[in-house]
Amino acid sequence: MDDKQIQTSMLQPPCNAPMVPRTPLRNLDFRYLKSQVGIGDVLTFHGLDKGLLRKGHRLSGPCPLHGGDNPTAFRVDLARGIWHCFTRCGGGDTVELVRKILGGSYVQAARHMLKLCAESVQPPPPPSRSLALHATGAPFKPFTWKIPLNPIAAFLQQTKGISPATASKFEAGTSNKSPFLKGTVAVRLYDLHGNPIGYCGRRLDRSEINRWGKWRFPRNYPKKETLFNAHRASSFIEKGLVIVECPWAAMRLTQAGAPNAVALLGTSASPVQLAWLARAPKIVLMLDGDDAGRKAAHLLVGALKNSAEVMIHELPDSMEPEDLNDRELMATVRRYLLFS
């Protein structure tokens, strides 16, 4: 498997959409999957390890793939991640085992392994539990209390086009009572399973932005383990996903009639985030119209192309998704996804 160059299928975006070129599947894509999902995990998930005897890091027994009865015909090396059936089925690595089980292609195998990866790396944590350890070893402590926010703010309505009703739905607005959120437009944060974990604030003072950046996040916030709006968008994931950079774009897409938008809170995606995104059959990348957004979009295509049909909607220079009006946003989504 490691020496093969597999050609992925050509994506077919709508008219006038940038075409993602046909490129060979890189070994790195499957190497990551195999590092996250072991060959033993695959056998256990499909119930194929029950008749096998284990000795050290090796399994042996009748072949569970074709239902053989030779007690030594099927062998697995758990440490090396390889298997072989000496009677009928051949052998290979974890990816080849998944293909044999599914009777499918490399794309189907990648999608299946990403789903297994998502289940293994994202167990639902209780709301009070720390989600991640900071580089210093300090745990992130979720903040579950609700802070009253005023959804009427010039930044939301005039700058970002977010109505008070939409802001209320997303628990966004201003607060004069919270020292942490003072001087910002705040948004409530949730983990991938819908548990509230705190708030972030978008700074408004230009001098503070120049010094600290636009966003203020809780200390040690595990950004790479969350996706903004994921718990709401998961109800529509079978229709596909729209990936944007910031919460305002996700709010505006929902306001326009497309609640299947999630925000990266940046321009990169971690293995945890990629595993969650891979559950969608189609993905539209609508990142900001700048060099960082365009570079990130093409990197995300490479990371997700094995599990979903991925399309890029490239915005004009310096434009963000929320710069479009609601009608333009919904028309854009309908070009790529079947969405009523």
Using the 3D structure, point to which of 121, 139, 164 is the last residue of a domain: 121
pLDDT of residue 109: 83
202 belongs to a structural domain:
no
pLDDT of residue 249: 97
217 belongs to a structural domain:
no
**Segment holding 241, helix H or strand E:** strand 241-244
Tell me the CATH number at 236.
3.40.1360.10
pLDDT of residue 138: 67
pLDDT of residue 30: 74
Burial of 122 (0-12, 13-18, 19+ CB in 10 A): middle
pLDDT of residue 339: 60
Tell me the CATH number at 44.
3.90.580.10
d(CA 41, CA 259): 34
For the chain, which ranges sit under pLDDT 50?
Answer: 1-28, 121-130, 132-136
pLDDT of residue 3: 33
52 belongs to a structural domain:
yes
319 belongs to a structural domain:
yes
- The tally of domains found in the chain comes to 2
pLDDT of residue 296: 93
> What is the pTM for the complete model shown?
0.64
Strands 309-312 and 282-285: parallel
Using the 3D structure, point to which of 121, 140, 175 is the last residue of a domain: 121
326 belongs to a structural domain:
yes
316 belongs to a structural domain:
yes
pLDDT of residue 114: 78
109 belongs to a structural domain:
yes
Using the 3D structure, point to which of 73, 95, 121 is the last residue of a domain: 121
pLDDT of residue 62: 92
331 belongs to a structural domain:
yes
Which range marks the domain in which residue 78 is found? 28-121
